[in-house]
């Protein structure tokens, strides 16, 4: 079945959890026992409506404070697709959570409170979705019931958002505006008759018809070797398979390839998925490849097509989202995990900080704090094989690991 991962972004009280709860309710994805639990708690709190946010806020602290702290994953399916929604909270560590949620998503929903319109937070949400090059964005203008389902309000917000769109870097994004009321269920799963002026689809209808071509960024094939399979059994005595996931484009038997960093040439002999052989390994499949020649390949090496080499370099510049309470400073040392490859890196310089509200850049920055986004140049202890993020989502991104705490402290998008 087709799986669609969606990230959601909205400020506190924009009704994000309510929207997700509404989707679950209207697609009958909430089971009787879960629904009963929601009814019970809503009643205890004296609400005269069902508080759908209770379906997603899983931690005690979240229920106590009535807010979402951590990225939660919510699952539901229709006859057409399986959906995974990353519910990313909009406050405190918003950049960290949004970047995390968006990094694994193919589409994104940005929520706007119809009463408040486009606010500073909306700029940030859009900026991050643009930075991560999410191809399909839905701008859900929520709480339409509180503005009398006014077409004027909707048009004003749409026009304001379009001003924002002109500033974006990634122009190929498809943006769809939908007026909704999560609380009342208008235009979420079912089309409402309260806004006859809106001719488009309901939110779920829109998601249902998204095709792979709409949501996936295509690049050139990259095959980072994850694990070397050597059975050393009688039957497979000389078998030497390279296990990994295919990124960017397809690989086929007979393709002329180069193994990095050794730059050894060879040809793809067989493509295995379990005990079956295939002619073609498509993007995102976890296969095992054998080569015509007996060469030394290990984890972290990369198999690429002959006339399609990535950049091989010991330094790069990237947009970094800093996610930790510690600060990033020039001279700081980190582990760069680029796919399955790890190298030691040193911060050469912070070029400038980027204001995610589209108000420009800031030079002469000496450190990065949590939620900061900046252009940073790194020097590495050995070369990596990368593409620019704009050309290759997977091979152009990396995470930063603190050598002391082992925590994931940042994410980067290579320029």
Partner 1 sequence: MNKDTSNINSLENEAIYIIREVAAQFERPVLLFSGGKDSITLVRLAVKAFYPAKVPFPLMHIDTGHNFPETIEFRDRLVKELGLELIVRNVQDSIDEGKVKEETGRYASRNQLQTTTLLDAIEEFKFDACIGGARRDEEKARAKERIFSVRDDFGQWDEKNQRPELFDMLNGQIDLGQNVRVFPISNWTELDVWSYIEEENIEIPSIYFAHKRKVFLRDGMIWSADDEVVYRDDHEEVVEELVRFRTVGDMSCTAAVLSDATTITKVVEEIRESTISERGARIDDKRSEAAMEKRKQQGYF
Touching partner 1, residues 305-324 (CB under 8 A)? 323
Select the residue interacting with partner 1 from 18, 53, 56, 319 (CB under 8 A). 56
- Which of 339, 338, 320 lies closest to 377 in space, CA to CA? 320
d(CA 121, CA 141): 14
Identity of the residue, 388 or 408, whose beta carbon is nearer to partner 1 in the bound complex: 408
Q: Does residue 55 belong to the site contacting partner 1 (CB under 8 A)?
A: yes
Q: Which is nearer to partner 1, 114 or 345 (CB)?
A: 345
DSSP notation for 220-283: --EEE--EEE----STTTT--EEEEE-BSS-EETT-EEEEETTTEEEEEEEEEETTEEESEE-T
Instruction: Tell me which of 60, 238, 363, 366 binds partner 1, using CB under 8 A.
Output: 60
Closer of 204 and 370 to partner 1 (Cβ): 370
Query: Which residues, numbered 269-308, are part of the site for partner 1 (CB under 8 A)?
Result: 271-288, 299
Asked if residue 388 lies in contact with residue 415, where contact means CB atoms within 8 angstroms, the answer is yes
Largest Cα–Cα distance of the chain, in whole Å?
75
Residue among 34, 191, 265, 352 that touches partner 1 (CB under 8 A)? 34
Site mask for partner 1 (CB under 8 A), range 226-255, x = bound: xx-xxxxx-xx--x-x-xxx----x-----
Q: Provide, rounded to whole angstroms, the least separation between the CB of residue 364 and partner 1.
A: 28
Q: How many Cα atoms within 13 Å fall on the side-chain side of residue 171? A: 2
Question: First vs last Cα of the chain: how many Å apart?
Answer: 35
Site for partner 1 in 80-119 (CB under 8 A): 82, 84, 96-97, 99-100, 103-104
Please identify, among the stretches 64-72, 187-195, 196-204, 213-221, the one whose residues bind partner 1 according to the rule CB under 8 A.
Answer: 64-72
Stretch that binds partner 1, among 63-71, 123-131, 149-157, 377-385 (CB under 8 A): 63-71
Number of residues that bind partner 1 (CB under 8 A): 82
Kindly give the residue spans of alpha helices, DSSP state H, lying in 27-150: 32-44, 60-65, 94-103, 120-131
Cis-peptide into 172, omega within 30 deg? no
């Amino acid at each position: 079945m087709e799986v669609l991962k969606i990230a959601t972004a909205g400020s506190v009280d924009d009704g994000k959890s309510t929207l997700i709860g509404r989707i679950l309710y209207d697609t009958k994805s909430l089971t009787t026992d879960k629904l009963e639990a929601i009814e019970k708690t809503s009643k205890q709190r004296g609400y005269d409506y069902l508080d759908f946010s209770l379906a997603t806020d899983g931690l005690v602290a979240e229920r106590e404070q009535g807010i979402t702290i951590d990225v939660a994953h919510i699952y539901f399916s229709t006859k057409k697709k399986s959906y995974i929604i990353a519910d990313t909270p909009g406050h405190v560590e918003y950049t960290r959570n949004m970047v995390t949620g968006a990094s694994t998503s193919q589409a994104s929903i940005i929520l706007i409170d119809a009463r408040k319109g486009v606010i500073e937070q909306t700029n940030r949400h859009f900026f991050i979705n643009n930075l991560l090059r999410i191809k399909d964005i839905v701008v859900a203008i929520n709480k339409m019931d509180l503005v009398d389902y006014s077409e004027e309000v909707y048009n004003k917000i749409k026009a304001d958002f379009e001003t924002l769109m002109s500033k974006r870097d990634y122009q190929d994004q498809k943006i769809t505006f939908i007026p909704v009321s999560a609380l009342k269920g208008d235009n979420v799963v079912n089309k409402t008759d309260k806004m006859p002026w809106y001719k488009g689809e309901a939110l779920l209808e829109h998601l249902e018809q998204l095709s792979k071509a709409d949501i996936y960024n295509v690049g050139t094939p990259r095959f980072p070797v994850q694990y070397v399979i050597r059975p050393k059994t009688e039957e497979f005595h000389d078998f030497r398979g390279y296990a990994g996931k295919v990124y960017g484009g397809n690989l086929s038997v007979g393709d002329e390839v180069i193994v990095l960093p050794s730059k050894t040439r060879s040809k793809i002999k067989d493509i295995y998925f379990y005990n079956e052989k295939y002619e073609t390994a498509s993007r995102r499949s976890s296969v095992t490849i054998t080569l015509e020649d007996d060469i030394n390949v290990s984890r972290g090496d990369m198999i690429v097509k002959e006339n399609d080499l990535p950049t091989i370099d010991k330094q790069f510049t990237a947009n970094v989202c800093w996610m930790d309470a510690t600060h990033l400073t020039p001279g700081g040392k980190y582990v760069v995990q680029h796919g399955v490859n790890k190298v030691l890196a040193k911060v050469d310089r912070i070029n400038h900080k980027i204001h995610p509200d589209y108000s420009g850049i800031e030079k002469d920055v000496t450190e990065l704090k949590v939620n900061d986004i900046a252009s940073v140049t790194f020097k590495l202890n050995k070369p990596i094989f990368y593409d620019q993020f704009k050309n290759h989502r997977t091979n152009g991104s990396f995470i930063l690991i603190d050598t002391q705490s082992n925590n994931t402290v940042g994410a980067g998008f290579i320029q």
